[in-house]
Every structure is written in structure tokens, then in C-alpha cells.
């Protein structure tokens, strides 16, 4: 996704995107310093106002990030508790679990299969948009 597309979405629905973190996959998000130097972030986070905040090595900074039209981002999924994932699944959303380097996806809430006990206990659960 282009960073400017994310900015437009976050401006329309800031609470939906607040707290989501994205890695930069093409280009650079920068912050200008008073010394006319630039610092390149390797990620961005959307704050509660829909603004982009710089992320460096997985740590959120306090600086606004500026992006050009060519910057592309990819969301870094945040894991959720198992029951939150199941609730989303029951509402028709796609969920997935990662455990031991493997990923299992559940796409159809009509599927009446079972969740594996070890996935429930030890897996990291995600809701896919």
C-alpha cells in the first residue's frame, strides 16, 4: 500500500487505524532535524489523530514522519488474544495463527472444524483485514 493511501484512510477513520504499525517496504519516511539533516525511519505508526509517527527498529519515536508519494508500507500484524480472534472469526473475518514457524488460516466462519489445542495455548493469533 502507498503511504499516502494509508494517510487518507487514517484521516477518515483515525480510531480504526490508531496504534497500527507499518514497515517501510519501498522508500523512506523521514524527519527533518534543526541541523538540516534528515533521519530515515524504517517504520511508521498511526497515532490517535491519524498522523504518522516514525518507528526505528521497532520502537515508536516521538517524531512525525514525512513521506513522499513513492513510499510503500506493509502492516505489521499485531497478535490478539485467542477469544478475540474467535469472535472476529464468528463475524466472518479471516483469522490466522502462527506457531513453530507455521501459519494456519481460517477464512470461512461456516467451517465447523476444530482449533488445535497447541495453537490455542502457544500460538500467536491475528485478525486479517
**Predicted pLDDT at 82:** 93
| Residue 107 scores a pLDDT above 70 | yes
Residue identified by cell 463475524 is 91
My answer on whether 59 and 88 are in the same domain is no
Q: Which ranges in 1-129 belong to alpha helices (H)?
A: 3-12, 14-17, 82-90, 117-122
| Residue 32 scores a pLDDT above 60 | yes
- Global pTM? 0.69
My answer on whether 69 and 108 are in the same domain is no
**Predicted pLDDT at 57:** 87
| Mean of pLDDT values over 86-107 | 89
My answer on whether 64 and 115 are in the same domain is no
Nearest Cα neighbor of 97 from 74, 121, 61, 73 is 121
**Predicted pLDDT at 124:** 94
Task: Tell the burial category of 125 from Cβ atoms under 10 Å away from its Cβ (0-12, 13-18, 19+).
Answer: buried
My answer on whether 86 and 72 are in the same domain is no
**Predicted pLDDT at 40:** 85
Query: Which domain covers residue 15, as residue numbers?
Result: 3-76
Amino acid at each position: 500500500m502507498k503511504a499516502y493511501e494509508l494517510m487518507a484512510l487514517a484521516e477518515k477513520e483515525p480510531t480504526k487505524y490508531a496504534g497500527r504499525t507499518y514497515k517501510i517496504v519501498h522508500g523512506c519516511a523521514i524527519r527533518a532535524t534543526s541541523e538540516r539533516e534528515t533521519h530515515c525511519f524504517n517504520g511508521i505508526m498511526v497515532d490517535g489523530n491519524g498522523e504518522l509517527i516514525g518507528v526505528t527498529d521497532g520502537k515508536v519515536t516521538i517524531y512525525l514522519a514525512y513521506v513522499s508519494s513513492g513510499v510503500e508500507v506493509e502492516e505489521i500484524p499485531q497478535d490478539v488474544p485467542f477469544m478475540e480472534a474467535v469472535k472476529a472469526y464468528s463475524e466472518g473475518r479471516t483469522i490466522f495463527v502462527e506457531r513453530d514457524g507455521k501459519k494456519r488460516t481460517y477464512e470461512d466462519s461456516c467451517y465447523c472444524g476444530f482449533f488445535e489445542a497447541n495453537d490455542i495455548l502457544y500460538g500467536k493469533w491475528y485478525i486479517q483485514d
